[in-house]
């Protein structure tokens, strides 16, 4: 029996950094918007404890992939002796600030919890997810959210389901480098849920990334000709909101040749949840 599930992308509609913690991590506030596009994964359970990953990008097949780490973590925490053959159809750009790797890991936790009949609660899975990365709990929870802390304190929000053009320029941004950089903005005033939607939004990482990666600044200069835009996460992907798919498509047809782009709609609930609910494993 093979279980096929999506691993959706996210946007940071804003990203404000409100301080640095004693442990070196940063306190932040962000609004996570889930999208209706992402990677695709297939899970075929095994009777032994082997975890095997195949991917259309061979560079992602090693043991350091978060998918394998998620499976190993579940085995270690539960004592489960089952395994799985996993196939990843990688569609999202890597290192783009879209959460692809984190989403892959979260989908793996959810899928193996069902396939192996571990019956862990969402709370338990989210706690494990945080060990894999700050963004992974978002995708385990499966809803668009206002986030605080390092991004793990999540409050569900209902956002208008808007159309976005997402563009990834040809560069790689190191998240660690950005958060360690002395020029990063770290003193934004915290917002409350009451003032969230009446306050101006920005990405505190964007000025620094534009300085370090001029191609990101050039891509934003191109995109702003069509709609207001900003960066997601620590980049390098940028996005703009459009009134409809036709206007987004018009901009996409003029995409610079060096960039990748796609159109997506915002969703408030991850399709992973509906897909899992329809499987016999959760019957």
Average pLDDT over residues 203-209: 98
- Domain 3-157+270-282 -> CATH class: alpha beta
44 assigned binding-site residue: no
pLDDT surpassing 60 at residue 282:
no
Query: What pLDDT shows up at residue 61?
Result: 83
- State if pTM tops 0.85: yes
Whether residue 73 contacts residue 208, with contact meaning beta carbons closer than 8 Å, is answered with no
| Residue (of 89, 7, 43) closest to 272 by Cα position | 7
Q: Is 119 a catalytic residue?
A: no
Confidence of residue 251 (pLDDT cuts 50, 70, 90): very high
What is the percent of the chain where pLDDT is above 90? 87
Write down the catalytic residue from 39, 104, 135, 204: 135
Q: Give the residue extent of every domain in the chain.
A: 3-157+270-282, 163-267
d(CA 13, CA 231): 8
Please give the structure tokens belonging to residue 76: 């270690």
Query: What pLDDT shows up at residue 277?
Result: 86
121 assigned binding-site residue: no
- Domain 163-267 -> CATH class: alpha beta
83 assigned binding-site residue: no
| Residue (of 138, 117, 137, 135) closest to 127 by Cα position | 137
Query: Residues near 182 by Cβ (< 8 Å), separated by ≥ 6?
Result: none
| Average pLDDT score over the chain | 95
d(CA 237, CA 95): 8
Q: Is 10 a catalytic residue?
A: yes
59 assigned binding-site residue: no
- Helix (H) / strand (E) containing 68: helix 66-78
Average pLDDT over residues 92-121: 96
Average pLDDT over residues 101-105: 97
Q: What is the pLDDT of residues 165-180, one digit of tens each?
A: 999 999 999 999 999 9
pLDDT surpassing 90 at residue 217:
yes
């Amino acid at each position: 029996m093979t279980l096929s599930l999506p691993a959706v992308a996210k946007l940071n509609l804003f990203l404000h950094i409100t301080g640095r913690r004693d442990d070196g991590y940063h306190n932040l506030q962000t609004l996570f918007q889930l999208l209706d596009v992402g990677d695709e994964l297939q899970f075929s359970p095994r009777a032994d404890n082997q975890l095997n990953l195949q991917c259309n990008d061979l560079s992602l097949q090693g043991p350091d992939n978060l998918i394998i780490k998620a499976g190993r973590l579940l085995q270690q925490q539960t004592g489960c002796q089952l395994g799985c053959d996993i196939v990843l159809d990688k569609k999202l750009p890597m290192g783009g600030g879209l959460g692809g790797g984190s989403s892959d890991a979260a989908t793996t936790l959810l899928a193996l919890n069902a396939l192996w009949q571990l019956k862990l609660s969402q709370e338990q899975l989210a706690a494990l997810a945080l060990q894999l990365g700050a963004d992974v709990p978002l995708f385990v929870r499966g809803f668009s959210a206002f986030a605080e802390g390092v991004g793990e304190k999540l409050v569900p929000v209902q956002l208008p389901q808007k159309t976005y053009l997402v563009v990834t320029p040809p560069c790689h941004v190191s998240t660690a480098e950005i958060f360690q950089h002395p020029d990063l903005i770290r003193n934004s005033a915290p917002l409350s849920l009451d003032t969230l939607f009446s306050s101006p939004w920005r990405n505190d990482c964007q000025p620094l990334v534009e300085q370090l990666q001029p191609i990101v600044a050039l891509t934003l200069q191109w995109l702003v000709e069509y709609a207001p835009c900003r960066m997601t996460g620590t980049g390098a992907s940028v996005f703009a909101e459009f009134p409809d798919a036709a206007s987004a498509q018009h901009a996409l047809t003029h995409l610079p040749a060096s960039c990748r782009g796609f159109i997506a709609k915002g969703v408030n609930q991850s399709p992973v949840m509906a897909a899992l609910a329809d499987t016999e494993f959760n019957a």
